[in-house]
Amino acid sequence: MRPTTKPFFPPPARTLATALARLCFAAILLSGLIQLLGCTATYTGGSSTSPDGKYRIYGHVRGAYGHAFVDESAKKIWITIARTDNKETPLLERKYRVHGSDVGWTAIWGPPDILTIAFFDYGPGIYWEDARKTGVEKRQIRTVTYRFDSKAASFIEGSAK
């Protein structure tokens, strides 16, 4: 018997159907990866300027990954208080964790350089625009008070009153 160089089993025929099946599989796999790697958290933000125009607060709220923003879930809030000079010099930066639904915040500028920030929502699953239209009251989550310390030339976090 003579040795042969031919394979024992013939290679499978590459048909158009096989190529299309592989292409469809790759497309499904790629779309699944894009969904897993994509941004799945909601961000909201805003700002408020002090009545005298010297300071500005910036607040950003990030919802939980994989949840709608109105879901009752953990949220992260970044607060930055800056001087309103040409460089927007930051005077204080803080990060808070709260648990709530469509979380928002409001800044209350008080007399001499006192700032109170209230974090709130309108209850589980209630979107803020719907709450305002139907008259649903805000649900207080947390309150933080800051005062400007002239010695430190910065805002200092204090207890809420």
Supply angle C-alpha 15, 20, 21, rounded to 5: 100
Taking a C-beta distance cutoff of 8 angstroms, is the pair 118, 100 a contact?
Answer: no
Taking a C-beta distance cutoff of 8 angstroms, is the pair 138, 106 a contact?
Answer: no
Supply angle C-alpha 108, 140, 88, rounded to 5: 35
**Residue 91: CA count within 13 A, CB half-sphere:** 24
Global pTM reads 0.70
Q: How far apart are CA 3 and CA 7, in angstroms?
A: 11
Taking a C-beta distance cutoff of 8 angstroms, is the pair 103, 128 a contact?
Answer: no
At residue 121, the 3 state secondary structure works out as strand
Q: How far apart are CA 122 and CA 134, in angstroms?
A: 11
Per-residue pLDDT of the chain (161 residues; tens, 9 = 90+): 566 666 565 666 567 667 777 777 777 776 666 665 555 778 888 999 999 888 999 999 998 888 888 889 999 999 999 999 888 889 999 999 999 999 999 999 987 788 999 999 998 888 888 888 988 888 999 999 999 888 888 898 885 44
